[in-house]
């Protein structure tokens, strides 16, 4: 897709079509196992391939790992299996108490273990190998700026397609105090959840600004990661560091998700934004602690409720196949490399 560029950013060609559907997957650490199971149940219940119905997939943190798995061509059921293995190997129960204490002075968990599991699943695939348009938020720690990984779905996007999916996954999931920052092209990147735990607004912005999609053509399915009921917050009103503890992280992530959800609803309209999540008791799950059987139960119930709404609002749209733009090539001219003698 070619486009004209204004001072405020790209002005792409007009969108052709009557609908553009976005799948937005929240961050949530180990709790993103819920997301993978929900999508797997939808496929099984309705006999569909979930990715056939979405023009753009956005995922933050562990939701970004799920999104990358979909972009690599994996079905949600396979992603759920791999993700369960990831949780067991990266957040082993025997280390969780020690890890929580260790977070006071260093990251709690081993990024190398996460890298090892991701390589087994995603291999050597680059972002440019994705079969879906992807948008994966991260945060540049050194520059203090938003960093968003994107497939090559616009001429303006010239670098990310070369980056390995594994490196993108490490960057979007590098939660502070849990993992060390990921180095991608020498930039220290951390978890996209610090600013966009719910990537719905990021995806809507991408569709409008980079792909020329009008807001009234956009429909969004947003899947959360088991948000806890509101607990008694009275003690937090005057709490310090010890009182807030890990509750600060949970509050920031929930606030980010809720804020993104509310803004997205106002942008595309309440009828065209569907969020599914499972409210759970406070403390039942954590970013590094889940019970897989219990997660499967919540996912089963939630997906049972989601199936009719998916059929009513999303199933009738079949997204055209995504073909990434070819890699940029240098223009020929007087400074081009000379043709070696003997070559034709």
Question: CA triplet 300, 53, 192: central angle to 5 degrees?
Answer: 75
| Buried/exposed 1-34: b ≥16 CB within 10 Å, e otherwise | eebeeeeeebebeebeeebbbbbbbbbbbbbbbb
Of 109, 125, 85, 231, residue with least CA distance to 173: 109
Which run of H or of E encompasses 241?
helix 241-244
Euclidean distance between CA atoms 38 and 31, whole angstroms: 12
Q: Is 191 a catalytic residue?
A: yes
Q: Catalytic residue, from 26, 55, 61, 277: name it.
A: 61
How far from 58 is each of 38, 278, 320, CA to CA, in Å? Answer: 16, 20, 17
Asked if 202 contacts 148 with a C-beta cutoff of 8 angstroms, the reply is yes
Euclidean distance between CA atoms 234 and 161, whole angstroms: 48
Q: Catalytic residue, from 191, 250, 272, 288: name it.
A: 191
Q: Is 52 a catalytic residue?
A: no
Reduced to 3 states, what is the DSSP secondary structure of residue 185?
coil
**By CB neighbour count within 10 A (0-12 exposed, 13-18 middle, 19+ buried), where does 233 fall?**
exposed
Place of tokens 């996007």: 157
Token pair, residue 216, equals: 């009234």
* CA R_g for the chain: 21
Of 56, 51, 43, residue with least CA distance to 209: 56
Q: Would you please indicate which residues are annotated as catalytic (active-site) residues?
A: 61, 191
């Amino acid at each position: 897709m070619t486009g004209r560029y204004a001072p405020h950013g790209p002005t792409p060609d007009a969108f052709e079509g009557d609908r553009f559907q976005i799948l937005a997957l929240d961050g949530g650490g180990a709790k993103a196992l819920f997301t993978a199971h929900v999508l797997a149940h939808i496929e099984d219940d309705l006999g569909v391939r979930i990715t056939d119905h979405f023009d753009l997939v956005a995922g933050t943190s562990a939701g970004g790992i799920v999104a990358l798995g979909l972009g690599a061509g994996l079905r949600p059921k396979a992603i759920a299996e791999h993700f369960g293995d990831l949780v067991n190997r990266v957040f082993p129960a025997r280390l969780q108490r020690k890890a929580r204490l260790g977070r006071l002075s260093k990251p709690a968990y081993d990024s190398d273990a996460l890298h090892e599991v991701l390589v087994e699943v995603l291999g050597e695939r680059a972002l440019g190998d994705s079969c879906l348009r992807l948008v994966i938020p991260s945060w540049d720690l050194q520059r203090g700026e938003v960093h968003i990984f994107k497939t090559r779905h616009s001429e303006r996007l010239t670098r990310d397609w070369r980056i390995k999916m594994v490196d993108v996954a490490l960057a979007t999931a590098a939660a502070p105090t849990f993992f060390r920052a990921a180095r991608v092209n020498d930039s220290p990147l951390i978890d996209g959840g610090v600013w966009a735990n719910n990537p719905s607004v990021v995806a809507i912005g991408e569709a409008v600004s980079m792909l020329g999609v009008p807001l009234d053509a956009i429909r969004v399915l947003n899947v959360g990661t088991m948000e806890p009921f509101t607990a008694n917050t009275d003690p937090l009103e005057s709490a310090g560091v010890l009182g807030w503890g890990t509750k600060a992280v949970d509050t920031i992530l929930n606030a980010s998700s809720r804020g993104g959800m509310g803004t997205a609803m106002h942008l595309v309209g309440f009828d065209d934004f569907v969020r599914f999540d499972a409210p759970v008791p406070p403390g039942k799950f954590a970013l590094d602690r889940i019970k897989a059987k219990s997660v499967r139960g919540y996912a089963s119930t939630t997906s049972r409720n989601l199936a009719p709404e998916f059929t009513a609002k999303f199933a009738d749209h079949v997204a055209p196949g995504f073909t990434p733009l070819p890699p940029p090539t240098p223009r020929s001219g007087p400074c081009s490399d000379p043709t070696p003698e003997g070559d034709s």
